Amino acid sequence: MVFKNKKYFWLTVLMILMIFVSTSCKKEEEVIKESKEQTESTDDKKENKKEVGSKKKENTVSKKPHIILEEVHDGNFDMENYRYLYTMSSVHFNLREEDKEFEALRNALNEYNDMVDIRFKEIKEELEEYSQNDKDSEYPATTRYIETKSYVMRADEDIVSILNYEIEEQGIRHPIETRTSYNFDTKTGEQIELKDIVKDREAFLNLLDEMSEKDYKELEITKPSTYLNDFNQGDFTGLTWTANAEGVTLYFDTYTLGNYEEGTQMITVYFDDAKDIFEPKYISKEKDYVFPILHSDMTLRLDVDNDGERDMVYVNNIYEEPEETGEKYTVGSVVVRGVDTLEFEGFDSESYIVKKDGKYYMYHFMAEEGDVNVLYKIDLDTLNKNEKEYRLLSLSRNSLYKENEEDGGSYKILEETLTDPDSFIMETTFDLLSTVTGEREWSIGKNGYPREKDDAYKITDRVVLRTKSDISCKEVDTDGNIKGDAIIPAESYILFIKSDAKEYMDVRIIDKKYVEDKEWDGMDNKYFSLKDYTLLDYDGDCYRISVDFGDNEWMGTVDGVDIEELFEGILFVG
């Protein structure tokens, strides 16, 4: 399960560091990102070229809020026994925009974040007390954890709808899984109850029962209407629900409608089936939209072939459970549309329903072997009739680390969400002067293909190199326009800022006080890391270093000289 993997974060960091090699090592020949080519139609390539071109950024006021999820992780690691005593995580809801238009929503999200912090502190105190007792025990218990994953199901001019999935390990037979929802009016910031959206309660319950029978007819579960009539005296308050562009989804945790074997139920009532029972304000008015589809538990019914009938669409994870370990882990996923299926091999994955120009697509993000992240664009109408189309992209995730003393570590991850087809941030990893990760803004273009909105990737890694000699380059302004020739002096520390991921890297010179020298144990090679990550938020003039790969497709040269002769601290992941 994805959450259990996170509890070994710092061990994973150590393992990742082991795969970094110096430039004197040979890179493996079978590199997935070299063999997988970006696929997009000729029309879309023209559309990309037209939009990116010599475009300049304009300070326009966004009409839609864009939520950034800030994951906060903490834990206590027992170095003596080399195991975690506990791990925990929570999620803050932040806004990408700073517009005054969203001031009420921002205040509401800040209040929510304050509430989360109070609960986080209380839980940490409980886990600390428990872990100290467990540490001294002759028979240590299973690692305790309580972790949260959040999904933004919709964020537009009218509503921000978020689902929290919390899983807690208390040392009993099964971890406890709980779902809660938070729905905000975008303009007022007020929290919305289901009764604020549903005008005709009885009609809604009838549709809910009908969809439950379609989606879960093989299960012996209680009718949702029976449960809801008894819950909070049937007034539709305190329920876990979200809204997406297609309708309203209710979430029933394990044991709510049935026994443990029946699992969780997620049932959607669609706006198009009975618009008059919903408050018009909250019915989506967008023709093009995108929202998450949750794996293994969520079934949607979408008219993907425009025949007037809804088709069943869902995504399941594929698991293996070796006898020697007895621990289940993900080895792939399968997309299902009606009776057609499409399988993928990999580890973690997440999926999104996309509607563009009247057609349904799916964006399927997959973490594959070799630490490669791939975005597959799937036409839900044709599904298994077309070759898999992909790009080496994933939604942006920026890690901010803050190591504690010897008892563990805490860190934060800023995670992009995908709710606006006209604006979202994706990242990719590439080799240019080092192995680096960069992000830029995208939109969903013609035929559902992702389309760049920025000229270059903004580098998010803390990569610093030191020049061994003077480097000839160009000086460029903040828009990438060349101002003239320039020289980067020898013994300069340069920080990566932007790149096209193909031919050039824009850098800035920074002071030595911002640089940390590091060495690999047992190796003579030195590398450098940026101490202050805020220096990456730079929007001024840069030095542009052009790299020519020629026959040497990995290392490259600058003015005919191998890069390892010009720079110190180069690192590639091999």
**CA–CA distances in Å: residue 217 to residues 67, 256, 265, 340, 494:** 36, 16, 12, 20, 62
pLDDT for res 173: 67
**CA–CA distances in Å: residue 421 to residues 61, 259, 471:** 17, 39, 41
Distance from C-alpha of 291 to C-alpha of 307, rounded to nearest angstrom: 23
pLDDT for res 390: 93
In a domain, 67, yes or no: no
pLDDT for res 33: 39
In a domain, 29, yes or no: no
pLDDT for res 522: 54
Other C-beta atoms closer than 10 Å to the C-beta of 379 total 17
pLDDT for res 86: 86
Tally of domains within the chain = 1
pLDDT for res 552: 60
Q: What domain range is 555 assigned to? A: 444-573
In a domain, 167, yes or no: no
In a domain, 492, yes or no: yes
Distance from C-alpha of 465 to C-alpha of 312, rounded to nearest angstrom: 52
Helix, strand, coil content of the chain in percent (nearest 5): 20, 40, 35
Q: Are 235 and 174 in contact (CB under 8 A)?
A: no
In a domain, 509, yes or no: yes
pLDDT for res 94: 97
Token pair for 8: 């070994």
pLDDT for res 574: 63
The rounded Cα 234 to chain-centroid distance in angstroms is 36
In a domain, 530, yes or no: yes
pLDDT for res 141: 64
In a domain, 537, yes or no: yes
Which residues, 6+ apart, have CB-to-CB distance to 471 below 8 Å? 487, 488, 543, 545, 558, 566
pLDDT for res 145: 86
pLDDT along the chain (574 residues), means of 10: 36 38 37 41 49 46 89 86 85 91 95 97 88 64 86 97 92 82 97 96 96 94 95 89 98 93 95 94 95 95 95 95 78 95 94 97 94 94 83 92 58 95 96 95 96 95 95 96 97 97 97 89 75 91 95 82 94 80
Question: Please, how many CA atoms are within 13 Å of residue 550, restricted to the half-sphere of its CB?
Answer: 14
In a domain, 474, yes or no: yes
Distance from C-alpha of 103 to C-alpha of 100, rounded to nearest angstrom: 5
DSSP characters over 50-63? HHHTT-----PPPS
Other C-beta atoms closer than 10 Å to the C-beta of 13 total 14
